[in-house]
A and B are shown apart, each in its own frame.
Chain A
Amino acid sequence: MNVITIENVSFSYETHDVLERVNLIIKKGEFLAILGSNGAGKTTLLKIILGDLKPTSGTILIFNEELKNFRDWTKISYLSQNATSNVASFPTTVKELVASNLHSELGLFRFLNKIQKEKIKKALELVGMEQYQNRLFSKLSGGQMQRVLLARSLINEPEILILDEPTSALDEQSSSSLFALLKTISKEKQTTIVISTHSQECSKYHCDKVLNLDSVTLMEQGK
């Protein structure tokens, strides 16, 4: 099943062309890495998929529906490039942060019921952070913060997970373990993952497809 279809998408900021005729099909459960040097358009492409930017030309289909008509955004989770720094100075516990993505389910005064508590526990277990529920988010290491934010993105069991350079502030070991975790999630949960990254390791060892925006080429791993 095609989850995201990008057909002849181009984008320019005023006179500067950023993306030119990008074509791509991402299927359910696939793990796609978008590579490219700084300014190649990785974040721009993600923003186009999320409907934040309108392409100059071309079409985007999400679950075979044109992006402009697509409404079910709860199927998509997004982890922005600066998510960690946005939250790092905020007084919030890991549990509060992960629970925040259950927003639409929570009642007026935000008390969590048994099912929601179980969801939080499961999401944190998935990323190996279940013992940190009551810790202050800002007291965690960079790698742990990314894992908690990932748990927050996963709590609603999204069908598509989009991550913009999630390892930019992590050391090699933490990055490697995060990529491995994403690969497990894409295989076990059949979650479609789209990630923008500079990491060659991710593109070589973990993902199914690589879109290189420097040369606008698409490679399928192991094929």
Chain B
Amino acid sequence: MNIFDYAFMQRAFIVGIALAVIIPLIGLIMVLKRSSMIGDTLAHTSLAGVAAGLLIGFNPIVGAIVACIIAVFAIEAIQKKLPKNRDLGMAVVLTIGISVAGLLSTHIPSGMNFNSFLFGSISLVSQNDLILIVSIAAVILLVFLAIVKDLYLITLDERMAKLSGVKVSIINFIFTLLTAITVGIASKTVGALIVSSLMILPAACAMQFEKGFFATLFISIGFGLLYTIVGLVVAFYTDQRAGATIVLIGAIIFVVVVLIKWLINKIRLHKLGTKNE
């Protein structure tokens, strides 16, 4: 049977592609803002929401989104109290999130597959999940496009952004919310423990091409799609977990891109040396 003959694989591809578009957008800004740790913090905290959802009986994806949003507010509050140690806010929230998830998970009945949220599971994406994830992803994409010019300016030079009339704190807050919701909806397919890797790897690959900001955004989406499509196909035929396969393929592609770039630079330098002789 063909891979697309399976309804669950069709759903997986649709959800995977939707996430592959939005995750790298968020990821590139996070990398440029040097705030990659927020992704990890929210991803771990999302597990507390997943556990609560499974335990109480509501959609764990909604639980993950709510937990991430609470985490964002908590990080903001701690950072306001401790402005000189901004990383502490994320570290504290990450610790609390993972502890709550650990405590709640012991009470979840074994048939409910809490573990599948750690590394993601495609077979668990239902029709309802698909509608929820794709709709939210579409909203995230639209909001991102609406604020991308502000984000560019803030990430480049926050002071200049303020002088240009950008509401820096509001835009930053919207972006953090987008990050929280993205992590929340990705927890089921990609897996909470590896979603932050999928945020960073496309950006890391795209930045090797040394293009402008908007070109880098498009290239990172391209890499996100490449990882996801190849990862899903490989995971299907080798019977592996999709999230982990996608991220591992992303890591392999990153290493290949870096090696090719290194090789090209070597050849270029060699040619330059030969010319000068």
Q: Is A114 an interface residue (CB 8 A)?
A: no
> Per a CB cutoff under 8 Å, which of A73, A83, A110 touches B157?
A83
Contact call A110/B148, Cβ cutoff below 8 A:
yes
List, sorted by A's number, 27 A–B pairs whose CB atoms are closer than 8 Å. A74-B165, A78-B159, A78-B160, A80-B159, A86-B157, A90-B155, A90-B213, A91-B211, A91-B213, A91-B216, A93-B211, A93-B212, A93-B213, A97-B156, A101-B160, A103-B161, A103-B164, A103-B165, A104-B165, A108-B146, A110-B148, A110-B149, A110-B152, A110-B214, A136-B210, A136-B211, A139-B210
Interface string of B150-186 (1 = CB under 8 A from A): 1011011101110111100000000000000000000
Which of A92, A101, A138 is packed against the most chain B CB atoms within 10 Å?
Answer: A92
In whole angstroms, what is the CA distance A95 to B212 when docked? 9
Q: Is B263 an interface residue (CB 8 A)?
A: no
Which of B32, B145, B160, B161 is packed against the most chain A CB atoms within 10 Å?
Answer: B160
CB contacts under 8 Å to B, within A81-130, are: 83, 86-87, 90-93, 95-97, 100-101, 103-104, 106, 108-110
Q: Is A76 an interface residue (CB 8 A)?
A: yes
Contact call B213/A96, Cβ cutoff below 8 A:
yes
CB contacts under 8 Å to A, within B254-276, are: none
Chain A residue numbers with a CB within 8 Å of B157 are 80, 83, 86-87
Chain B residues within 8 Å of chain A by Cβ, number: 25
Contact call B212/A91, Cβ cutoff below 8 A:
yes
Contact call B164/A104, Cβ cutoff below 8 A:
yes
Which of A90, A106, A108, A109 is packed against the most chain B CB atoms within 10 Å?
Answer: A90
Chain A residue numbers with a CB within 8 Å of B210 are 91, 136, 138-139
**Residues in chain B within 8 A of chain A (CB atoms):** 32, 145-146, 148-150, 152-153, 155-157, 159-161, 163-166, 207, 210-214, 216
Contact call A96/B145, Cβ cutoff below 8 A:
no
Contact call A78/B163, Cβ cutoff below 8 A:
yes
Once A and B bind, how many residue pairs between them come within 8 Å at the CB atom?
69
Contact call B213/A103, Cβ cutoff below 8 A:
no
In the complex, residue of chain B having the shortest beta-carbon distance to the beta carbon of A138 = B210
Chain B residue numbers with a CB within 8 Å of A106 are 149
Chain A residue numbers with a CB within 8 Å of B207 are 91
Contact call A101/B32, Cβ cutoff below 8 A:
no
In the complex, residue of chain B having the shortest beta-carbon distance to the beta carbon of A135 = B212
In whole angstroms, what is the CA distance A94 to B183 when docked? 33
Report B270 CB to chain A, min CB distance, Å.
20
In the complex, residue of chain A having the shortest beta-carbon distance to the beta carbon of B32 = A90
In whole angstroms, what is the CA distance A78 to B162 when docked? 12
Contact call B149/A103, Cβ cutoff below 8 A:
yes
Chain B residue numbers with a CB within 8 Å of A92 are 156, 212-213
In whole angstroms, what is the CA distance A108 to B32 when docked? 22
In whole angstroms, what is the CA distance A136 to B165 when docked? 26
In whole angstroms, what is the CA distance A96 to B215 when docked? 11
Chain B residue numbers with a CB within 8 Å of A78 are 159-160, 163
Which of B145, B153, B155, B212 is packed against the most chain A CB atoms within 10 Å?
Answer: B212
Question: 4 tightest A-B contacts by CB?
Answer: A93-B212, A103-B164, A110-B149, A91-B216
In the complex, residue of chain A having the shortest beta-carbon distance to the beta carbon of B165 = A104
Report B95 CB to chain A, min CB distance, Å.
31
Contacts A76-B163, A92-B212 given; indicate if A100 touches B153 (C-beta within 8 A).
yes
Contacts A91-B210, A93-B212, A136-B210 given; indicate if A73 touches B152 (C-beta within 8 A).
no
Report A170 CB to chain B, min CB distance, Å.
19
In the complex, residue of chain B having the shortest beta-carbon distance to the beta carbon of A86 = B157
Contacts A73-B163, A78-B163 given; indicate if A103 touches B212 (C-beta within 8 A).
no
Chain A residue numbers with a CB within 8 Å of B145 are 108-109
Report A10 CB to chain B, min CB distance, Å.
24
In whole angstroms, what is the CA distance A112 to B207 when docked? 24
Contact call B214/A103, Cβ cutoff below 8 A:
no
Chain A residue numbers with a CB within 8 Å of B214 are 96, 110
Report A12 CB to chain B, min CB distance, Å.
22
In whole angstroms, what is the CA distance A106 to B214 when docked? 15
Chain B residue numbers with a CB within 8 Å of A103 are 149-150, 153, 161, 164-166
